[in-house]
């Protein structure tokens, strides 16, 4: 399942993307608020990718993972994904990460909007959630821009580099107003 926006091609990952994904996961700035930590090698990255790739053949999906490219150049600029509850609660959780040179150009907002639309229009979700460390100001700004509601703080929920960090919990409902 692929997604297109005005500027981006958002394609489901494949094993051919492993080196690119490993490179993105290995950037210290990208890892600053990431709970995965820096992968020790390509094999660790492949093990992270495994469930998303295997899930592509399931009739009832629980996970999507995409690699993000610029439309014109096809340069890889990041990753994104969605986890689904695949049950009566109809909840999805989105994430995104970009290579630092593509920060502050509106790409994260464009990706997040596309994921919300995909979740409501293709997956028939009722609720889409996202969380971010309280210090992750850029990501929090994205969640505000796409019309998500900050529902609260989850204390010491994020294991980041050996410390427990607080995170804000955001959500948007299928009938919440959005202009995209």
pLDDT tens digit sequence for 75-84 = 999 999 999 9
pLDDT tens digit sequence for 125-175 = 999 999 999 999 999 999 999 999 999 999 999 999 899 999 999 999 999
User: Does the pLDDT at position 71 exceed 80?
Assistant: yes
Q: Rounded to 5 degrees, what angle do the CA atoms 44, 83, 132 make?
A: 85
Half-sphere exposure of 50 (CA within 13 A, CB side): 7
Global pTM?
A: 0.94
Q: Alpha-carbon torsion 91, 89, 132, 22, what sign?
A: negative
CA–CA separation, 106 vs 111, rounded Å? 9
CA–CA separation, 22 vs 2, rounded Å? 21
CATH tag for 3-128 (out of 3.40.640.10, 3.90.1150.10, 3.40.630.30, 3.30.1330.10): 3.40.630.30
Would you kindly state where each structural domain of the chain is located, as residue ranges? 3-128
High-pLDDT (> 90) share of the chain, %: 93
Mean pLDDT of the chain: 95
Backbone angles phi, psi at 12, to 5 degrees: -55, 145
Half-sphere exposure of 9 (CA within 13 A, CB side): 10
Mean pLDDT (whole number) for 27-43: 92
| Other CB atoms within 10 Å distance of the CB of residue 175 | 8
């Amino acid at each position: 399942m692929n997604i297109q926006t005005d500027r981006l091609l958002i394609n489901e990952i494949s094993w051919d993307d492993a080196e690119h994904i490993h490179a993105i996961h290995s950037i210290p700035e990208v890892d600053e608020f990431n709970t995965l930590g820096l992968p020790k090698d390509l094999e660790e990255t492949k093990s992270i990718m495994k469930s998303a790739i295997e899930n592509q053949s399931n009739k009832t999906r629980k996970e999507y993972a995409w690699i993000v490219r610029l439309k014109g150049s096809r340069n890889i600029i990041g990753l994104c994904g969605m986890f689904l509850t695949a049950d009566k609660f109809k909840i999805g959780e989105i994430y995104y990460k970009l290579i630092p040179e593509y920060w502050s150009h509106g790409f994260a907002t464009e990706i997040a909007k596309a994921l919300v639309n995909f979740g409501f229009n293709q997956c028939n979700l009722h609720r889409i959630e996202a969380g971010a460390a309280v210090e992750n100001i850029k990501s929090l700004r994205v969640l505000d821009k796409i019309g998500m509601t900050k529902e609260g703080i989850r204390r010491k929920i994020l294991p980041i580099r050996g410390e427990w960090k607080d995170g804000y919990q955001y959500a948007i409902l299928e009938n919440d107003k959005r202009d995209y």
